[in-house]
Every structure is written in C-alpha cells, then in structure tokens.
Chains A and B, each alone.
Chain A
Amino acid sequence: MIAKGFTEPTARIKALKAEVVNAVPEVEPYRAVLITESYKETEGMPAVMRRAKANEKIFNNLPVVIRDNELIVGALSVKPRSTNLCPEFSFDWVEKEFKTMATRMCDPFVITEETADILHEVFKYWKGKTTSELATSYMSQDCLDCQAGGVFTVGNYYFGGIGHVCVDYGKVLKIGFKGVIAEVVEAMNKLDANDPEYLQKRAFYEAVIISYNAAINFAKRYSKKAAEMAATCTDPVRKAELLQISKNCDRVPENGATNFYEACQSFWFVQALVQIEANGHSISPGRFDQYMWPYLEADKSISKEFAQELLDCLFVLLNHVNKTRDDVSDQAFAGYAVFQNFGVGGQTEDGLDATNPVSYMCMDAAAHVRLPAPSFSVRIHNQTPDEFLLRACELARLGTGVPAMYNDEAIIPALCNRGLTLADARNYCIIGCVEPQCPHKTDGWHDAAFFNVAKVFDIAIHGGKNRDGKQLGPVTKPMPEWKSMDDLYEAYETQIEYFVSKLVEADNAVDIAHKERAPLPFMSALVDDCIGRGKTVMEGGAIYNFTGPQAFGNVDTGDAIYCIKKHVFEDKDLTMQQIYDAMEHNFGAELGAGCYDGPFVRLSTDSAEPAAAAMESVSVSSEDSMESIINAVVQKILAEKGSNLSMSVDTKSEACTSCSDAQRAEYDRIRHILDATPCFGNDIDEVDMCARKATQVYSHEVEKYKNPRGGQYQAGCYPVSANVLFGKDVQALPDGRYSNAPLADGVSPRQGHDVKGPTAAGNSVAKLDQLNISNGTLYNQKFLPSAVAGDQGLLNFAAVVRNYFDKKGMHVQFNVIDRETLLDAQAHPENYKDLVVRVAGYSAHWTVLAKEVQDDIIARTEQHF
C-alpha cells in the first residue's frame, strides 16, 4: 500500500481542539487600553521609541493565560480564539460595528457592552493619530476617486498592520532574545556619532532593547504563573507538566533552546509576540521543518509520540490567533483567516532536497488537528522524493484543503528575476496565501491591494467612464469605436497604465504612513538587515523590499477579449455595436442575473446623502438587506474621504426592464453566442493567449514602479475571496457574464467553464506566464473523493501535481469533497461544525463562510477523474 493512513490524535489534542471549535470569538479591550495609556505617556518621543514603550507596557501587562491541557503556552487573548484591537492603525469601523459585529454575515465577534464602553473611551484619543488617517492625507483626490470607484482597494494595510513576514525563528531558537539584544548592543557600540543617521539608528537600537527586555519578561510572567498554578494543582500529572512549562518559559526565549520542547515553546513566543506588537496578518512561520529539525535530531531523550504531540499542540495554538477586520474586508478574507503560512519540504540553499522527519510529522499534525490554521504548504521540486509528494496527496485527500503545493521549479527563477540571489531564492518560504519570499530578509508587502482588472476593462469599454457616468480614467476610444484589436488593446493598456499609477500612489501613501507612525522594533530586529542598517523594516531595513498588489478579473478580461476577437474580427457574426448594446442592457436580463439572490442596492454620486447615514438607515436585523449593507460598506470604505455618496437603486434594472421583448430576445441571443465561445481553462492556445496577454499587461505595468523602501513592485494574481465581492462592481462583459456576477477565482478558469478535465484546466492556467506574477498565483482544483480513491488514485493525484508543475504552474491546492456534502453542509450547518474547506489561499470552517462564498466554492468545477 502506498497510502499509510493517519493515526488518531491524543485525548489532549482532541480536548484542545474542541476548545477552538466551540469558541465564541470576542473582542477584548486589553491591548487597546494599554497602548493608549502608553501613547499618552510618550507624546513627543520618536515614533519607534513610542512603539517600544507601547510594547513594554503591553508585554508587561497583557493578561497571562494558561489553558487546561496546554503544553506550550502564550496567549494573545483571555478567551479562546478571541482578539485584541490595534486602534493605532484605524478604529472608526469598529466603533460603527459595536452593535453589529456579533451578528454580521462574515466572521462575527462578540463585543460586550463593557468592552464597547472601554473602547469608546480609548478611541477618543486616536482621532487624527492613526496610520490610516495619515495615509489618506497623502492621497490625491484622483487616487481616492479610483478607490471609491471600485477599481482597487488598498484596505489591508490602510486599516491595519502590515505583517506578511517570516521572521528569523531560527535565530531565536539558537541565541535567544538575549542574543538579539547582544547583537544590538554590539551594533550600537559600533555606531559612529558622525553618521548623519546616528540619532535615528540609536533610537531604533534602544527601542529594540526595550522591546526585547519586555518580551523576555512576558515569558517570565508565564513561568511564574505556571509555577503558581503547579503549587495549587492537585493532579500530579498536570502539576508536573506545569512545572515543566514554568521551567521552559524561564529559559526560553530569553536563551537559546536546548531541546525540542524548548524549541517549540520558544517558537511559539516569537509567533505570539510578533502578533501582539501589531495586528498585521500573514505572520508566517515559513520553513518550520528546516529550523526545527536540528533540535529534534539532537534531542535524544524525547519520544516520537511526545514530539508529535507538541507539534499537534502548536497546530492547535495557531488557531487561537484571531483578528477582526471591518465587515467588508472580512468578506474578502472570510473564515477568521489570519494566514499563518507554515511550510515544509523544498530544497536547501545549495539546491539539495530538504525534506526531513519534521516535514512528515507536520503532515501528521495537520491530519490530527484539522483546523483552519495554519495555512499549511509543501514545496515540491523535481527531486522531491515521491514518498513526500504522495504523503502530501494523501493528506490533501482527507479534504481539509491542505497542503497547498508550491513549485520550486517556477518560484525560484521567478524570485531570481526579482533580484534574489540563487541561495536566497532556493530558501524561499510562503507568506500568507500564496506569496513567496526569502524568509527573514524580506519586507514583501504582499497583500498591497486588490486590483480589479475586469473593472479596468469595464472602464475601457466605456471610454474611461465608470458605471455612474463619471470620467474616472483617461479618455480612450469606447468599445463601439474599436475598429481593430489594436484599438482594444490601446484602450485597455492606457487604462491599466493610469489605474496602476494611482494604485502605486495609494500604496506608497500607506507605506509612508506606516514608516512615520508605526515603525515596529520587535518584528524588525528579527528581519535582516535591520540591525545592521539601524532601521525598522518600515523604513527599508529589510534586504529585499517589495510591494505586491494582486490582480483578479484577468481571466474574465482574457475571455472577454477573445470573444471580441473571434466574433467581431474573425467570424464576423456579431458587430462591436451589437455586443456593446447587449451588454448595456445586461443582455436583456434583470440586474442580478447570474448573481446571488437578494436586492441589489448600489451607491451613486448624484445626491448628497452621506454614506454613513445611508448605512444607518438600513435595518441590520433583516436578512434581505444584508446585501445592501455590504454594498454600502464597500462603497464607504473605498470612498474614505472621497465624494459624497448616497444609496440609490441601480438605474440599470429599469433600463433593461424597459427594453422590448424583441430586444430582450436579441440581447439574450447575443449572450448565448458569447457564452458558448471557447474560453480559458480548456487548453485551447488561441483562447488562453488572450488571458495571458491581459494578465501580462497588468504585471508588466506593475513591475515598473518602486516603493518608498527602495524596492520594486511585483504583481500577484489571487483574489483571496474578493472575486465574489468585487464582481458586484463590474458591469456586463463581452464574455457573456452578467453585470455584478462573481469574477473568476484567481488564475482559475471561470466557474463551470472548464469542461475538459483537470489537466486541460491546469495547462491553461500554466500558460499565464506565471513567472512574471512573482507575488504569487492561486489555482484551486476540486476533486471528488472517488476520483482519488485507492493507491492508483494517489499516484494519479501526484501525477496531476507533477504535470502542472512541469508546465511551470506555481501553486495548486485541492478541495477533495463532493458537491452533495457541501450542499448538505449548507442546509445543515449544525452537522458540519468541524468541516474545513479550502477557500482560497487559506482554509476555513465551512460554517463561518458567508453563503455567497459557499456558493462560489460549490460552483467551482468539480473535476471528475
């Protein structure tokens, strides 16, 4: 048998897991109160010092919590799976959601009245002091208009911390926080007082020392607490465990780890503290098997079972990390996702296979725990042992959506093309969803924006005008005037050029705001070469600096372009004007055709009623109005400081109900022709080349730009789950897609349009010149369990991966689950509390996903073997 099966987790792990599954996430006030107190005390100090003093206050005062059964300790919240807030980045959306956050569609959090009162007081201090407000003040009106118009959003870092980093865990395991402090002291001693940056560097070093000193104390508080609990513990087994925990926390992370258990504990403190310092998500452990294996290998006293249990504990712990975002962003990142990407496998810096026993143990841990976190990744190269790939397929076959698989043979050259050394590129890890970077040397700014390529094409169709009639982009020839494919591309390229420049403006504004208001000393000291350069990552301290805005809607655009090419210029069975007219009438259908049920309300700029008031006017208790609330909030967030907006029922629906039956039939006929056109995902070169070009136009434009940290922009191509949400902003397209319907999911073919099987779909996706989309691509495939059954099923599964990777695909992930199961889970969520599915770059509990996101997952083509 090739399949080895997976064992049952221990009773302890089951109990720890149950605590996560049954948790009711809550917003806690502690951190927000502490940082506010600290900021009040440090006004007038340099920003980096204020952050250090805030770290000190938080690390020294955040409640210490040791949960039953835990072997590894360090809590980010008192209640399980709960969260603290970071008002220093933004806060007003929380205030607005005090009453609704517990009942909202995606990722609800309980906020008690007491907490709401405390936070209300705390927030008063932050008015005008957040990174978000500073970023807005840097943006031009044009730039704000583009965001209000739904072309792109930079919401991620606009409203929260940056995160998206893999810090140097290995260094802490080796030399401890004391070692980090020693490095800083040495660097400080070498400082030249004549260096023009001397004072800033000194402030940074002092900030690091203050932060790490407090971080050591954070662990000591756990040591003390564990000892106290042991003293009163009557169960001798637990008492011994608590004493061991106390001993571990006394030793690490202050010092280097001397055994595997200490290494696990030390790892966890780093993982926790980085996420207490700020709320940026995608704090990714990276190549865990590489830095942990030496400690297991050298540990002669630990049993295999105990080592496995420790890993299992870590896999559970990662699920206690939780963050809340505004309602809209939470739809884009549905499922309490925090994207701690945890990877195994791949190759060493000198190009040899790097798999080791910890790589396999992590797969067992993922099978034991089966919770949404971590985002578990495996790296595959052409020398990866079959045993490793087959084991990964066996894990994927369980249906939890992990591991995601990454292709060294594509990613390494892609990173070299961005200036990484070969050794650094070979050492890449995955951050967040799918983004590759060299660990602890990179400030990747990977989730810099969602950029809606289909929206840009929509605007190009209309000569630079948005759907409200406003001239949002430069004036170009509208679709009816396109006389050739050159005209089409000229319009599309001109619009892309413009909107990418505005995207860069928005991202750089946010970048500068973080540098000025939130330089983070704790995280920075674990990223090379911040200590050498004497500056935080926000100021350009990292060796590699990138900004990675991700596109989606490029596949839709490619299909739209092919439809025009084929019908207007090749077959000549339709004219440009015919297609245009049909689209303008939404192919004769009501607005909302091909979309999800529910009334659609959108905002226009015509009247003066402010969006916030409009939001309040919508009853939140009514299920039917959820859609309109979402749209209101979308527009609100995109329009931050933009034009006055008000709600109005879309005029489009009147337009199409007003057309005659004959017109409607004609528009419908045209839609059927367009919809029947060969499309991306079926391995047809001439079709796939259109999607390739549509994508390249974006990626080549993006890579022209530089960020304030001295690094380059690079394109990514993955929507997280934004393809559903942002599809609502795009009108009918020439591929027959109705207005407001969901867009394709990342580089994946349009839902239900890949009908030639998994290899054909994979071949199409691989044609997108993925090496230029170096901020990451995301490709979902869904298989039925019967399709991968048995040993032959595993071998075929592995062949699918090898095939796609031979063709230079970068990433692929699988949902192995049948449609009936998903439909049943939708109908009876109570029976599927622990069902985990792959959403996009991450997995989530099925039950917490919005219905729309669930529908989208169901709609993704099932590949029958």
Chain B
Amino acid sequence: MSNMEPSCDTSKKGLVFNIQRFSVNDGPGVRTIAFLNGCPLRCKWCCNPESQELKPVVMFKAQNCVGCGNCEVVCPTGASNLNVPGKIDHTKCIACGKCIDVCYHRALEMSGKWMTVEELMGELYKDRVIYRKSGGGITVSGGEAMVQHEFLLELLKACKSFGWTTAIETTGMASEEVIKEIVPWLDVVMMDIKHIDPEVHKEYTGVSNEQILKNALLISSLAKKMIIRVPVIPGFNASPNVIAAIAKFTTYLHNVNELHLLPYHDLGSNKYGMLGKEYELADVQKPENEFMEELKAIVEKEGLTCKIGG
C-alpha cells in the first residue's frame, strides 16, 4: 500500500454504502464493486434506494425487531419512534448511529460510511491477487459515482497506481467537466440509456435525458471501451420500439458496439420498506425470457453485440 501515486490524495473522504467483493457480472474477470452514495436520478425501480442521498441512512429490518424500545430511549432527536412506519422518521434522523449500538437484534443498521481513499483501498487491496489471476479489478457504482467526483478521481488514480483495471456503472448524469476529468481513468464505462423520450424519462427517473444522451456521445469519444446498458422495465421501456430506438442511438456513438439488456428485477424492493418508503413498482412483473430474446434480436439487427444480463 506504500506504492500510491504521489499525485493521489488518499486522505480524500467519500461516502460508500457497500463494497461487494467477488463480483463477476460487472466488467471483466473477478471484480470488487465500490458503491458510492449520491444520485441525481430517482428511478422508480432503483434497487439501491438507500444510496440516493449523499448522507448515511438508518435502515430498519422489521423481521428482526422485538419492540424493546431501546432505540427510542437513546435517540437524541426523537427520530426513532416505534409508532412510525419504518421506525425512523428520516426528516429528524441525523444518522448518529446511537440507536444501532443498542439494537442487539440487529433490526437497525447504518447504510453509508465515510471512508478515506486509503481506507477504501485497504479493502480493495485484499483481493489484489484474484484481480491479477482473472483479469479483474475495480468497478465503481452507485448511486451515481460521479456525484462524488473529487473522491472518485483520487480513488481511480490510486487503483491505477496498482495497475488494476477500472470500470464504472453510470447513469451518465454529470457535468461535461467531470466527465472529461473522470473518464480517462477508466478502462470500461458501462452507461445506462433508459429511454429515448425525454418526457417519459423524466416521469420515471425524475430528470430529462437530454444531458444524458449528450454525455453519451462525449463519453464514447473519451472512453477506451464503452458498453450501453438498458434496464428493461415493463410499463416504461419494455417495448420493441423503445429498445429499437435506443439501439439505433447506440450506433451513433463512437466505437460502441455492445449493448446489454438488464431484465427488471425487484431484489431491491424490500429496501423501500426498510427506509419507510413505498415501492411504486410493486405490481410490475419480471419480463419473460422469450420477450427478452425478442428484444435481443432487435438490438442485434442494428449490428450490436447484445447480452441479456450484465
């Protein structure tokens, strides 16, 4: 760990909500994914809702709660309240963590931890051998990792000082300056394009896609390798027309010939309850395999390599 690049500021702090080792579906080889907090989008299907704000958040697991009330006693702001759905009033919570210390049944847990680049590197470093053996490395995800671009930049520099491959899973939502700063440090950019229609995009993600589509062009001109990913969400974009339009758009990008279709899943839906939020897509069904194959064929018609799943 003493071999960090001199220009890299390893004391920079970032908010990290998960470090997932042994990831094999997000970039080449065996990778560690660092999930960074903060996101400008509010996608209705978001599977990491705890990551959206750039602050730690207390999550509540109802099945573990025995109703002992310890949390209420220690809470300095009155945010912890057994009568509130989700037990935590997030408008009052300051994420001090006192309730978690006294929750012996582990019904409460903190998501999001401020870490220095050096601390995070210490975790990433533990799998350095398998990065080498498998051609893997680091993937940053989120949230939108570029929200914390200062931290991200130092992190990527540090990774490069070890020669690891770097990848990002991104919404593409960032300023041009940030993109120009970050993308050169990445070996692979996996960017979502969720919809072509700005209005529909805004309705389901909270933002228009104009900046995103513009950024896609910019990134494609800067990136060593770029893959477009489309989460296939029934009721939003799961139609041959929309997918065909996204595929067509992809062909206009520089040197991009791969598009992945990620079928909708509801693995994150339980987290909404843990945050005292409602999951709006509760009635949405996962797309059928046959339908996904149909969409794949549409993408391939545009001359793109298409994979279902990441």
- A residues at B contact (CB < 8 Å): 668-669, 672-673, 676, 683, 756-760, 763, 787, 792-793, 795-796, 798-800, 802-803, 806-807, 863, 865
Contact = CB atoms under 8 A, between A and B. Distances in A.
* 4 nearest A-B pairs in the assembled complex, by CB-CB distance: A799-B134, A757-B22, A672-B104, A803-B130
Interface string B216-254: 000000000000000000000000000000000000000
Nearest to A763: B126
Contacts of A676: 104, 106
Contacts of A673: 104
B22 A865 contact: yes
A796 B24 CA distance: 8
Nearest to A671: B104
Nearest to B136: A799
B72 interface: no
Nearest to A801: B133
B284 to A, nearest CB: 23
Contacts of B21: 756-757, 759-760
Q: Is the interface of B mostly helix, strand, loop or mixed?
A: loop
Nearest to A756: B21
Contacts of B29: 795-796, 799
A669 B104 contact: yes
B30 A799 contact: yes
B196 to A, nearest CB: 31
B302 interface: no
A753 to B, nearest CB: 14
Interface residues of B, number: 18
30 contacts: A668-B104, A669-B104, A672-B104, A672-B106, A683-B126, A757-B20, A759-B21, A759-B22, A759-B30, A759-B127, A763-B127, A787-B24, A792-B24, A793-B24, A795-B29, A796-B24, A796-B29, A796-B30, A796-B134, A799-B29, A799-B30, A799-B133, A800-B30, A803-B129, A806-B129, A806-B133, A863-B22, A865-B22, A865-B23, A865-B24
Contacts of B22: 757-760, 863, 865
A66 B183 CA distance: 72
Interface of A is mostly: helix
A728 B133 CA distance: 41
B100 to A, nearest CB: 11
A251 B24 CA distance: 55
A760 B126 contact: yes
Contacts, number: 59
B214 interface: no
A758 B133 CA distance: 15
A806 B30 CA distance: 16
A157 B30 CA distance: 45
Contacts of A807: 129
B61 to A, nearest CB: 13
Contacts of B24: 787, 792-793, 796, 865
Interface in B10-35: 20-25, 29-30
B301 interface: no
B134 A672 contact: no
A586 B20 CA distance: 35
B134 A759 contact: no
A865 B30 CA distance: 9
B134 A795 contact: yes
B105 interface: yes
A800 B130 contact: yes
A392 to B, nearest CB: 15
A216 B220 CA distance: 77
A799 B130 contact: yes
Interface string B96-114: 0000000011100000000
Nearest to A863: B22
A803 B133 CA distance: 7
Contacts of A672: 104-106
A738 to B, nearest CB: 16
Contacts of A760: 21-22, 126-127
Contacts of A803: 127, 129-130, 133
B106 A802 contact: no
A668 B20 CA distance: 31
B162 to A, nearest CB: 16
Nearest to B23: A865
B134 to A, nearest CB: 4
A676 B107 CA distance: 12
Nearest to B28: A792
Contacts of B136: 799
